[in-house]
Every structure is written in C-alpha cells, then in structure tokens.
C-alpha cells in the first residue's frame, strides 16, 4: 500500500470530477430527490372531490352535508343528478366519491326503522380509496355519536397516544427514510461511474499495465465518492431538520457514524456493479435497479418491516436499507441510540456488510483483460 | 424511405448486440415489475399487535378477538407496560393496547377508556390502523345507531394493492427506459463523433431522427407487450375493463411523447453521464406532477396547472381508466390529444436543435 500512488490517483479523480462538472450532480441530485419526494409523497388526501346526492332534503341530511363541507378532507358538491350520471362522472375520473342519502332518511330514523347511507369510492388508486373510506366513515360515525349522545352503559372511548410522531405528519414519517435511499443510491452511482468510465474509454488499460495494486486502485477510486458524500450526510440532516422540521431526538454522533458506514456500503455496491458493467449506461441502470427499488420497498417507509411476511421479510433482511433506516428513524424520532441492543446489533450488521462488500469487490476485480 | 428503414434496422441490431442492455430491459419489464407488485402492500396488513391485560376479564378478550388476520397479526401478550413500550420503541410492535385494572368496572359504568400506544413513524399505516380500531370499538359499543353505512369501493372492490402497484411500477419503468434509451441512441453517436457524419449524409435529418426514435419505440412496445401479457395479466390478473387496443394506442402516444423528452435531453447533453444526470432531473418533476403520489386535486393550484405539462399524468389517468374504470374510448380522446401535442412540440424542438450541423 503506497500512499503516494493513492494520493496521486485521488487527486486525479477529484480534478476529473470538477472538470466534467460531475461534482455539481453530487450535491444537486441528493438534495433534489429529498426535497421532491419529501414534498411529493403525501399519504394524506385532501379536497376529495365528493358528490352528494341528497334525496331526503331534511334537517338531518343537511347536517351531514355541512359536516362534509366543514372537513378539510372533502370538497363536496350537492348535485341534482341521477346515480347513473354520477357514476359516469366517476368513470371519467372527474369525481372521487359519491355519497347517497336515500329518500325519507330522517323519517325512517325517527321512527326507528333504520336507514342506510351509500358511499361509492373510486378505488382505482387503492390506497387513496382506503384513505378516503376511513375519512368518510370516521366523519359519519362521529356525526352519529353526536346525535346519539346517550349515557348508555358500555361505551368505550379510545385514548390513543401516537408515539414518535404525535401529529402524524407525513414529513416526519418519510424524510428520514428518504435519507436512507439517497445515501444508498447516489454514492453507488458515482463510484460505479468513476470506474466504468475508464473501462468504456479504454483508459483502464493504464491501470492494467501499471504496477498499481488492486487494493490501491480500489481505495483511490472509492475515496472521492466517499468523501464527497460524507458532506451530503450533513446536507441531508440540515434539509430534514430545517426545511422539513423533522424533530431530532437522538445523538448526532450516532447519526453521523452510522451514515458514514452506510455510505461505505453504497460505495461497495458501486464497486460490485462496476465489475459487472462494461458501459456507463448499463452501470447507471443496473445501480438504479438494485438500489432504488429495494430502497423503497424494504425501507419501512411504505410498509413497516414488522408487518412483512415470508419472502418479503427475508428479502428485506438481505438488503442493508432496513438496518440503516431502523437506526435513522431511531435517531430522528425515537432517540434511544445505542442504549437499545437492537440498534447496536443492527449497527454491527452494517459494519460487517460494509467490510464484506469492499473485500468482495476488491477480490472479484480483475487486473487483466477478460 | 430506404434510408429510414436502414437507420431503423441499424439501431435495432445495435440494441440486440449489447446483450447487457437487452438483459437489463428484459429484467425491468418482467422481474422488476413482479417484485414491486408482490413486494409490499400499502394497506394495513399483518400489523403487529401487543397488549397488556391487567383485567383478566372477558371484555378485553372480546375486543382482542376482533383483531384478526389478514389485517392484524395474532396479538402478543406482554406482562407489563414497560415490556410493551420497549417492544414498541424497538419497532417490533406497531399497536399496543393497554387494558387498565378497572377497565371492566368502568365499562359497566359507561366510561371505560382503552389506552392505545401507536408507532406513528409510518404515519399512513398508523392512521388507517387507528381508524380500523376505532371502528372495531365503535361496533363493539353496539350503539343503537340505525344507520348502516354501505361503502362500495368501485373498480377495485378489495383495494387490491398488488395489481395497482405492479401497474404503477410498469408505468415508471416504461417511462425511465424510454427516456434513457431514446436519448442514449443520439448521445452515443455524439460522443463518438459519428453524429456529425450522419448529418452530413444526403438524407433529411428529420428522417434520421424519426428512424432512431421509432426504433426505440419498437423496442419499448415489445417490452410493453411482454410485460402486460406475462406479468400484468398473467401473474397479477389485472382486469381489463376498457379496450386493449386503446391501451396499446395510448402507450404508443405516450412513448411518442417520452421519446420527445429523450430527444430533448439528447439535444442538450454532450456525454452519456450528462444524459443520466439530466434524465433524473427532468424525470423527477414529471413523476412528481403526474398525480401518482399526491392526487392532483390535493396539490397547490399552481402545481395543478403545471401538472398539465407532465405526459405521465395523462398516461396514468388513461391507464387507470382503461384497466380499472372501464371508461369508453370516446371519453379518453383528450388524453390522446394531449400526449400527441406534447410529443409534437418536443420533436419540433429536437429537429431544430439536434438536426442541424450549424
């Protein structure tokens, strides 16, 4: 291991990064992804386009309509059209929900016969449909319990405590997970590109024919992406806490060290990709496919890890995202740090992962023509 | 015409020669879509539940019996509140129920309180889980509430997410691959300097550009047919309520407008690395404004106007309408027109920018 060789190589890489303006992308891209997705992924649905068909026109039905009007989730319209027309509006994707209050709704209720309210929801976006359903049912049940404020025995109220994210902000839930994706994707792409570019241009033969050792080459090639993205760790933190106002409850040191190791993992993935890929375009597409998709699926952003079953659960345990995100969510929202054995255990796994990938990459790398 | 066919054939041969690219494209259109669809579900499913029961009564058992698969996992019993909250803090349990010692006594008095610890780090899941539990408790309360809520979720009665997610993944893969492939065919030539030679040939540059783009459209259309045929219809059993022909036509229009984006990128970028950077920068807002994450009606009014520029918006809405809603084609002409206009504008720009040597 000669430090002089490595130093010269690293210097060359940095100059090239600046010359090709690749450095702009190193800092622009991660922040852009974080900001776009952070604002973009909203699980909350607002202003649902609702059509209410009121066939009753009684005091009670007006009460229900006004409840819909006062909710921020719905923007209702009372229309005088037939059910069929309303349905065709929905087929044209003009409205999302139809609420039908039948004739003599109030009369039947007062008589105690019982009546029904029909709710039709466009579920072609299934998750959106479910959310709308839970909003609408919640609203109607709420109205109902207001009407029937009886002191009947056996009334249970639910007293919930939303831990870690009291107001259930989407930003709090999503932004820490996004950091996990960004820090996985962009260092991997950069390090894969730096190596594959030489392959594509043929300048890799300089390395093949020179006495530079494989380990020196790997260190020299991976140091620039690692150092550059180490800065991104801080940038991401600032975006999350200042722009998205995500609380930070853990220790910054934990966040920092874990992220550095995670960037090492990502750089290692880039190294592995660069061994397989021969052209830059294949390298880019391959890296995106093996990082972005598991990044989203197994990060716990969209589905909690504890709720996964079978294959999904096994696959989630194979990719590094899950371990990192567990610690990141902990440092941002929970704040146990390494006091919890699980965090410590996951940290060890990440360390092993980083070490394993880098060693594997160095071993598999070829210093000759295939 | 012969020049057109020659360039077209040349590009197709070039594509099949780079087996790595063929493999990546095939993988994306099949395995990747499959993984995305099977991989996860957004609605609460298998939510892990833990409880502490200080009452040992019947009522708590009755409530717990309502928490059953597929929405919830078998509730796990914890001996003390500390143990339960430790599990919640380690994110092994999402919902923790605590039955106080005098829960049952209070229940008969009519003011029992059920304490709920909820891991809200996954806000969306927690919200729906909470409303599930509230509904369970409300039903358990057995209010004399004579109104029955009849909820119908149209077009996808069970809110079957795998179908939807596979479709969504297919749409994003299609977009990504089309943009990258169609810009790479130009920039590769630019990088190696052969593009100038192409332009010097006594062939109209528009013909060359169209031939190159159409060759990529053909590749992507084959991928689309493979993906819809094998993965979407074969594995995920996606319904086809509209006409399949209209879907193919819509896809053709869509690839036309996305190759337009690719052409735009190609005319700006000088190297393949720049293509990668530019395509990400351009794709992000397109996906963001398409309404696949945030419904368009929930967006800021200015963003709503901007979303009219995203071709993916028309394609997603069109596909949703064709697959799930079963909208007649005559109601979809607007989508076709919008995609065609967007594509034409981009191509006109491309012709001017990349189709001239000087």
B155: nearest Cα among A124, A229, A362, A243:
A124
Chain B residues whose beta carbon lies within 8 Å of the beta carbon of residue A157 = 111-114
**Interface contact flag, A133 B151, Cβ < 8 Å:** yes
Rounded to an integer, what distance in angstroms lies between the CA atom of residue A325 and that of residue A347? 11
Rounded to an integer, what distance in angstroms lies between the CA atom of residue B196 and that of residue B209? 13
**Interface contact flag, A29 B281, Cβ < 8 Å:** yes
Report helix, strand or coil for A52: strand
Which of A249, A303, A325, A342 to mutate to test binding with chain B, by most B CBs within 10 Å of its CB? Answer: A303
Residue B334 in contact with partner chain A when CB distance is under 8 A: no
Which of B20, B71, B147 to mutate to test binding with chain A, by most A CBs within 10 Å of its CB? Answer: B147
Joined tokens for residue B162: 């795998």
Structural domain contains residue A107 = yes
**pLDDT, chain A, mean:** 84
pLDDT the model gives residue A153? 46
Joined tokens for residue A195: 């190596």
> Could you state, in order of their start, the residue ranges of all structural domains in chain B?
2-40+159-354, 49-141
Triad A59, A60, A64: Cα angle to 5°: 120
**Interface contact flag, A160 B116, Cβ < 8 Å:** yes
The alpha-carbon gap from A152 to the nearest alpha carbon of chain B, in Å, equals 6
Chain A residues whose beta carbon lies within 8 Å of the beta carbon of residue B175 = none
- Is A3 a residue whose pLDDT tops 60? yes
Contact B286, B175 (CB under 8 A): yes
**Interface contact flag, B120 A163, Cβ < 8 Å:** yes
User: Do A285 and A216 share a structural domain?
Assistant: yes
Residue B297 in contact with partner chain A when CB distance is under 8 A: yes
Chain B residues whose beta carbon lies within 8 Å of the beta carbon of residue A186 = none
pLDDT the model gives residue B145? 58
Chain B CA closest to residue A146: B145
What is the DSSP annotation of B218-286? HHHHHHHHHIIIIIIIIIS-----S-HHHHHHHHHHHHHHHHHHHHHHHHH-SSHHHHHHHHHHHHHHH
Which of A39, A84, A101, A125 to mutate to test binding with chain B, by most B CBs within 10 Å of its CB? Answer: A125
The alpha-carbon gap from A2 to the nearest alpha carbon of chain B, in Å, equals 31
- Is A179 a residue whose pLDDT tops 60? yes
Chain A residues whose beta carbon lies within 8 Å of the beta carbon of residue B140 = 156
Residues 31-60 of B with CB under 8 A from A: 32, 35-36, 38-48
A284: nearest Cα among B56, B272, B320:
B272
**Interface contact flag, B285 A36, Cβ < 8 Å:** yes
Triad A31, A250, A343: Cα angle to 5°: 95
**Interface contact flag, B149 A20, Cβ < 8 Å:** no
**Interface contact flag, B116 A284, Cβ < 8 Å:** no
User: Which stretch of DSSP H or E encloses residue B95?
Assistant: strand B95-99
Which of A99, A160, A171 to mutate to test binding with chain B, by most B CBs within 10 Å of its CB? Answer: A160
User: Do A120 and A56 share a structural domain?
Assistant: yes
Rounded to an integer, what distance in angstroms lies between the CA atom of residue A277 and that of residue B230? 28
DSSP B74: P
User: Do A350 and A322 share a structural domain?
Assistant: yes
Chain A CA closest to residue B273: A280
pLDDT the model gives residue A151? 47
pLDDT the model gives residue B159? 66
Summarize the confidence of residues A327-338 as an average pLDDT.
86
Chain A residues whose beta carbon lies within 8 Å of the beta carbon of residue B190 = none
Residue B149 in contact with partner chain A when CB distance is under 8 A: yes
DSSP B32: I
pLDDT the model gives residue A1? 76
Architecture of domain B49-141: 3-Layer(aba) Sandwich (3.40)
User: Do A110 and A21 share a structural domain?
Assistant: no
Which of B28, B39, B325 to mutate to test binding with chain A, by most A CBs within 10 Å of its CB? Answer: B39
Model confidence pLDDT, tens digit, residues A137-170: 778 777 776 666 554 545 666 677 777 777 777 7
User: Do A100 and A124 share a structural domain?
Assistant: yes
Rounded to an integer, what distance in angstroms lies between the CA atom of residue B247 and that of residue A37? 29
Chain A residues whose beta carbon lies within 8 Å of the beta carbon of residue B40 = 297, 302-303, 308, 312
Rounded to an integer, what distance in angstroms lies between the CA atom of residue B130 and that of residue B110? 22
Structural domain contains residue A153 = no
Residue B171 in contact with partner chain A when CB distance is under 8 A: no
pLDDT band at A360, cuts 50/70/90?
very high
User: Do A210 and A279 share a structural domain?
Assistant: yes
Chain A residues whose beta carbon lies within 8 Å of the beta carbon of residue B109 = 153
Contact A43, A132 (CB under 8 A): no
Share of chain A above pLDDT 70, in %: 94
Residue B125 in contact with partner chain A when CB distance is under 8 A: yes
pLDDT the model gives residue A156? 65
**Interface contact flag, A152 B144, Cβ < 8 Å:** yes
Q: Which of B120, B161, B273 sits opposite A280 (nearest CB)?
A: B273
DSSP B72: B
> Radius of gyration (Cα) for chain B, nearest Å?
27
User: Do A120 and A17 share a structural domain?
Assistant: no
The alpha-carbon gap from B236 to the nearest alpha carbon of chain A, in Å, equals 15
What is the count of structural domains for chain A?
2
CATH code, domain carrying A68: 3.40.1710.10
pLDDT the model gives residue B124? 64
For chains A and B, CB pairs below 8 A equal: 341
Model confidence pLDDT, tens digit, residues A104-132: 888 877 776 777 888 888 887 777 887 78
Q: Can you give the residue range of the structural domain that contains A355?
A: 3-41+169-364
Residue B76 in contact with partner chain A when CB distance is under 8 A: no
pLDDT the model gives residue A271? 93
Rounded to an integer, what distance in angstroms lies between the CA atom of residue A355 and that of residue A344? 17
Show Cβ contacts of residue B104 under 8 Å, excluding neighbours closer than 6 positions: B55, B57, B58, B59, B60, B112
Rounded to an integer, what distance in angstroms lies between the CA atom of residue B133 and that of residue B17? 57
- Is A74 a residue whose pLDDT tops 50? yes
User: Do A109 and A184 share a structural domain?
Assistant: no
User: Do A243 and A287 share a structural domain?
Assistant: yes
**Interface contact flag, B41 A303, Cβ < 8 Å:** yes
Q: Which of A32, A148, A334 sits opposite B145 (nearest CB)?
A: A148
Chain B CA closest to residue A303: B42
Rounded to an integer, what distance in angstroms lies between the CA atom of residue B150 and that of residue B271? 58
User: Do A219 and A352 share a structural domain?
Assistant: yes
**Interface contact flag, A302 B164, Cβ < 8 Å:** no
Contact B99, B138 (CB under 8 A): no
Show Cβ contacts of residue A145 under 8 Å, excluding neighbours closer than 6 positions: B138, B143, B145
A203: exposed, middle or buried (Cβ count in 10 Å: 0-12, 13-18, 19+): exposed
pLDDT beneath 70, residues of chain B: 39-44, 110, 122-125, 140-148, 156-159, 293, 358
The alpha-carbon gap from A41 to the nearest alpha carbon of chain B, in Å, equals 5
**Interface contact flag, B144 A197, Cβ < 8 Å:** no
Residue B137 in contact with partner chain A when CB distance is under 8 A: yes
The residue out of A115, A147, A179 marking a domain boundary is A147
pLDDT band at A263, cuts 50/70/90?
very high
**Interface contact flag, B140 A156, Cβ < 8 Å:** yes
B110: exposed, middle or buried (Cβ count in 10 Å: 0-12, 13-18, 19+): middle
**Interface contact flag, A124 B122, Cβ < 8 Å:** no
pLDDT band at A232, cuts 50/70/90?
very high
Chain A residues whose beta carbon lies within 8 Å of the beta carbon of residue B116 = 158-161
Structural domain contains residue A120 = yes
């Amino acid at each position: 291991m000669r430090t002089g060789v490595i130093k010269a190589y690293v210097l060359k890489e940095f100059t090239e990064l600046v010359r090709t303006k690749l450095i702009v992308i190193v800092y622009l891209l991660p922040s852009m992804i974080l900001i776009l997705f952070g604002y973009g992924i909203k699980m909350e649905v607002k202003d649902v386009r609702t059509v209410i068909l009121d066939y009753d026109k009684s005091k009670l039905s007006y009460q229900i309509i006004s409840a819909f009007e006062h909710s921020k989730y719905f923007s209702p319209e009372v229309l005088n059209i037939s059910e069929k027309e309303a349905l065709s509006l929905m087929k044209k994707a003009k409205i999302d929900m139809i609420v039908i209050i039948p004739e003599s709704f109030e009369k039947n209720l007062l008589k105690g016969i019982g009546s029904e309210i029909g709710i039709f929801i466009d579920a072609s976006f299934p998750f959106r449909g479910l959310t709308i359903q839970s909003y609408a049912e919640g609203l109607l049940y709420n109205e109902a319990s207001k009407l029937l404020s009886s002191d009947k025995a056996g009334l249970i109220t639910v007293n919930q405590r939303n831990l870690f994210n009291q107001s259930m902000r989407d930003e709090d839930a999503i932004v820490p997970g996004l950091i996990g994706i960004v820090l996985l994707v962009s260092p991997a792409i950069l390090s894969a590109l730096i190596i594959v570019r030489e392959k594509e241009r043929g300048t890799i033969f300089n390395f093949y024919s020179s006495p530079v050792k494989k380990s020196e080459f790997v260190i020299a090639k991976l140091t620039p992406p690692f150092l550059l993205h180490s800065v991104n760790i801080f940038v991401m933190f600032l975006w999350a806490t200042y722009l998205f106002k995500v609380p930070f409850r853990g220790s910054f040191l934990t966040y920092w060290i874990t992220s550095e190791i995670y960037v090492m993992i990502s750089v290692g993935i880039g190294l592995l990709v660069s061994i397989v890929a021969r052209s830059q375009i294949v390298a880019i597409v391959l890296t995106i496919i093996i990082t972005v998709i598991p990044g989203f699926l197994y990060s716990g952003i969209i589905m909690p890890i504890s709720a996964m079953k079978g294959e999904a659960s096994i696959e989630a345990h194979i990719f590094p995202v899950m371990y990192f995100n567990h610690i990141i969510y902990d440092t941002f929202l929970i704040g146990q740090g390494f006091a919890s054995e699980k965090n410590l255990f996951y940290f060890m796994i990440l360390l092993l992962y980083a070490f394993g990938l880098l060693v594997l990459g160095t071993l598999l790398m070829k210093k000759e023509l295939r | 015409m012969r020049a057109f066919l020659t360039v077209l054939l040349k590009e197709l041969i070039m594509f099949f020669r780079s087996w790595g690219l063929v493999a990546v494209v095939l993988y994306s259109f099949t395995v990747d879509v499959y993984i995305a669809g099977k991989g996860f579900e957004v609605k609460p499913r298998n939510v892990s539940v833990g409880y502490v029961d200080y009452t040992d009564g019947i009522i708590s058992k009755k409530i717990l019996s309502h928490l059953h698969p597929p929405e919830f996992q078998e509730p796990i019993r914890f001996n003390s509140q500390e143990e339960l909250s430790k599990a919640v803090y380690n994110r092994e349990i999402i919902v923790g129920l605590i039955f106080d010692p005098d829960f049952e006594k209070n229940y008969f008095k009519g003011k029992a309180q059920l304490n709920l610890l909820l891991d809200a780090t996954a806000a969306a899941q927690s919200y729906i889980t909470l409303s599930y539990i509230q509904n369970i408790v409300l039903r358990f309360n057995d209010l004399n509430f004579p109104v029955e809520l009849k909820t119908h979720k149209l077009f996808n009665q069970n809110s079957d997410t795998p179908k939807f997610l596979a479709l969504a993944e297919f749409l994003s893969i299609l977009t990504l691959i089309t943009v990258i492939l169609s810009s790479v065919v130009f920039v590769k030539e630019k990088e190696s300097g052969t593009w100038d030679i192409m332009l010097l040939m006594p062939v109209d540059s528009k013909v060359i550009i169209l031939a190159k783009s159409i060759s990529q459209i053909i590749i992507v259309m084959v991928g689309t047919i493979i993906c819809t045929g094998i993965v979407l219809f074969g594995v995920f059993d996606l319904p086809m309520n509209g006409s399949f022909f209209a879907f193919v036509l819509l896809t053709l229009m869509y690839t036309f407008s996305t190759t337009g984006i690719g052409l735009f990128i190609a005319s700006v970028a000088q190297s393949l690395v720049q293509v990668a950077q530019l395509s990400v920068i351009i794709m992000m807002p397109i996906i963001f404004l398409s309404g696949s994450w945030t419904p368009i009606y929930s967006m800021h009014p200015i963003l709503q106007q901007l979303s009219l520029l995203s071709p993916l918006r028309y394609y997603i809405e069109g596909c949703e309408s064709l697959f799930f809603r079963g909208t007649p084609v005559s109601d979809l002409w607007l989508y076709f027109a919008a995609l065609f206009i967007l594509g034409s504008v981009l191509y006109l720009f491309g012709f001017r920018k990349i189709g001239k040597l000087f």
